[in-house]
Chain A
């Protein structure tokens, strides 16, 4: 479930700096630099594993192309990644030296597949290797286009997304296309049907439509981890624009997804789209006007959309951690080993969100805790203090057995939190029940008058004459 233990990149700051004292002898300085180099070399294998639960951002990305000219035609996207601190490694998809891992360690934290037409990866990479990469908690970014190969399509299928099987089909929309003087076949779509989620697309609303030109995909209904981020309009359909439509298109309307994301159970994140051009400089810089709308935007929404989405995919947003799960009897501070039925207890947990640089308090009003044995006996929403501490109190139910405190937090776009802590609950001891019940007073009275009567009778019987 959790990603393999990886050490965060901080150790580099431990490597000694150049000595500041100018009187240091040259000898010592050279020794020192040798030491520095040695320590760097020793640290290198450690540094290559930069992902850690303490800083969950992926730092090293492998970018695969069909053609290296994409590096130049999509440079704005790559430069924005670089400026956010990512380390990009560009390779041709058929490079015979391709490898995702060496000596059992992954060399990268994320894989960007911008090679739609590749039929066979080079080197040690294949479908199974890509899936293993995701299964071990790494992120994947796939952009296909009308040349999408079976390999890319099968990677997408494994992720819960089915591309249109017709290789010549493109998304066509005669109602919400982008008005461009030189594009007449309405395959350049101005899409603005975004998912409503601040965590996926940022807090700033994307005003301008996103330009899309490519192939359609649909979500696999059996996969409940995949989400449609950008959907086509109800009038869209997927077909070959240059041939007559004889049978109804397999994908129509809003069931067509233009951009989808998956968050796997191990919190690996995947983005899939049918348009490689979506990321191109040309679309980033292009002005956009949606058909039928008088408003013309100087710049398409692509740059903002892609930047926000990539922040999510590479764990700069929406990555939660929960720590310090605590519970105690009301009025006490220590965690008991066991509760009695009907005890009053306090429960608290701290939740933080990774902001790309540090852990910030996570504020939400829908975090819930369950007191669970086979099924939840108590399910309560936690209140928070805006500093990441979530708290509630409740009475232990009058059922004894082995219970669990369970925090199951699954929200759209956030990593899921699954915490549980086991705690037994016992019934009352025999001496913990109520004594001298009022209702029993007549019985007590009866016994004691009986006893008093007997005592008096013993005198009368023995000494009466």
Chain B
């Protein structure tokens, strides 16, 4: 269950990633691949990290026709020499060293080769694991090709073939070695390559039954092929959590490499449906341009082996543009290339039929041949058929090879269906907007121009209706129904309401009965902006027009009416700085001006003055002052005491606190009482003497 879900997810995701492949327009390898290849395979300080990587870079450059060998040459050849010369280098490194040497043609002494050859031959005879076979046999084949050593043969080719074959499983997949029960599709590709190498190294014919059994395996492997809905085929590993998980791309490219290698050595005995080969090519092209060096190598290398395979060479029909404009008088242009972008053999491209998309009716055109322009290698139709109006179509093309011998050599995939958008201008006519009374008919109808600016101002209440109508027709005069025909009313508070404008034929009309919409409008009265959007994928003059505004007078909302949804706050409002706040201090109490206080100070002195003048006027004397010395001393002390109390009072006002003042007053008071009592009793005795006298 989980597995099938897994596969399904991978399928969906891959379909989405490769959405450029939707509409089954596959573009062959182009210049953008070359620039990306140069970007991805950038040697660090003149060399790559490993020989395998060096080989991948060189092979990619070779297939794409980029001449970068000189840059890498010296460092790579040095590394090849070291690897081949050392007796302890790993088998894998030997293999890639030989491959790099095969491309770079490094100078290597003969005795080094002898050593490597004998080492590889020894490995072949003792090998048990698939990778050992793959590297050693592959290495021997390169040595044979490189130094044209025709006498290099495997001693027991059939035996080796048999032991590789023994690792195969009944479903066409291979195991890496006999101890490990896990089988993989990726390994099948490696095994097929190794088998092909064994065949080419064999001195005699390999037993046909063994070849036949292998071909059977290949056919079984193709039973497990997976498919996208755009006719792209690919291989994927069944075991997802295997130790080294190979993605669909590396798996597919491994199988493609093995398949083409095996087909090359068995010349014609392998018959695979050409549709599947074309499907594999579509998958590899559908990836687009990988962003990973390894992926790019896998894609380019397997496409290169498809380009020259002996089963069937896929031909890719592509369109530079699937959007054709009637106003610009675009015509259908078709290119046919091999996967790597080289020109196809002589053939004719036929337009078999043109169908409106979504309808299964008869074709709009009879079979038509496209004219070939040898200079640009483009097949073109003189002009679009007269009956083709704006809209979505499916064009069906067919490739017919001129040379009957090519029929088996090339895979054309029969008829190719390609969706085409034919775009053009749409006429907009007789647009009107009106507010209607529900019974009496129109009160005010206003013509609007949907190509220019409009500022219509309308007003309506909840008993009235708004009617908007317009006409759309194509340049050929047919009715046109756009995908998007939306009337939008936007209230001042940004609450929006959208309505789809319906149509009958060319005529589009919408009636908004506000009585039924009051609740939907949340009882919001006020100014509504009216906007009309008409657009379609094939309409070149799609428009969004502000028509004007509508003053709507709706009844007061009842208590339980729904509240309008909250609207987003303005971001500036939310994040801007706040207004500054300054504290307002309490105003001090208002005081009279200084002059006034001083004047009143003067006034307060007046009573004392008056008192003194009065005393002088009365003729005051101090004759009663005691004449004897002791009472006189007490009198002086008494008045000094009073003066001190008054001074104390002044000090209290100026700086002392209550406690200091009271302390001083205690002593002063006691003293004052004593001296006061003496002087007062003295004065009293004098006055009583006077009375008695």
Chain A residues with CB under 8 Å of chain B are 66-76, 79, 94, 96, 116-118, 145-147, 172-175, 180-186, 195, 213, 219, 221-222, 224, 227, 234-235, 237, 239, 241, 244-249, 252-253, 255, 276-277, 280-282, 285, 342, 366, 368, 370-371, 376-381, 395, 397-399, 410-412, 437-442, 444-446, 448-449, 451-460, 462-465
Contacts and interface: CB of A to CB of B under 8 A. Distances in A.
A380 B580 contact: yes
Contacts, number: 255
B537 A147 contact: no
Nearest to A411: B575
Interface string B568-592: 1101101111111111011000011
Query: In the complex, which of the residues B9, B23, B531, B683 has the most CB atoms of chain A within 10 Å of its own CB atom?
Result: B9
Contacts of B569: 224
B400 interface: no
Contact of B605 (A74, A184, A449, A463): A449
A451 B17 contact: no
B1 to A, nearest CB: 13
B377 interface: no
B486 A463 contact: no
Contacts of B543: 175
Contact of A219 (B36, B287, B420, B568): B568
A79 B40 CA distance: 11
Interface stretch (B84-92, B191-199, B290-298, B306-314): B290-298
A70 B16 CA distance: 11
Interface string B603-618: 1110110011001000
B578 A379 contact: yes
B675 interface: no
Interface residues of B, number: 106
A448 to B, nearest CB: 8
Given A174-B537, A378-B582, A67 B20 contact: no
B288 A381 contact: no
Contacts of B392: 184
Query: In the complex, which of the residues A182, A281, A452, A453 has the most CB atoms of chain B within 10 Å of its own CB atom?
Result: A182
Interface string B594-636: 1001101111110110011001000011111100000000010
A70 B17 contact: yes
B605 A185 contact: no
Contacts of B496: 252-253, 255
Contact of B500 (A66, A183, A247, A440): A247
13 contacts: A69-B287, A72-B292, A75-B290, A147-B12, A181-B320, A182-B20, A219-B568, A245-B485, A252-B486, A281-B288, A282-B288, A445-B600, A453-B611
B544 A252 contact: no
Given A219-B568, A221-B565, A376-B581, 16 more contacts: A67-B17, A68-B247, A118-B9, A174-B537, A181-B320, A182-B23, A248-B499, A285-B36, A377-B581, A412-B572, A442-B604, A458-B642, A462-B683, A463-B625, A464-B621, A465-B623
Given A379-B579, A452-B608, A462-B624, A67 B10 contact: yes
A297 to B, nearest CB: 16
A439 B581 CA distance: 34
Interface in B520-572: 531, 533, 535-539, 542-544, 565-569, 571-572
Given A181-B321, A277-B19, A398-B585, A463 B567 contact: no
A246 B500 contact: yes
Interface in B448-502: 483-486, 488, 496, 498-500
A399 B586 CA distance: 9
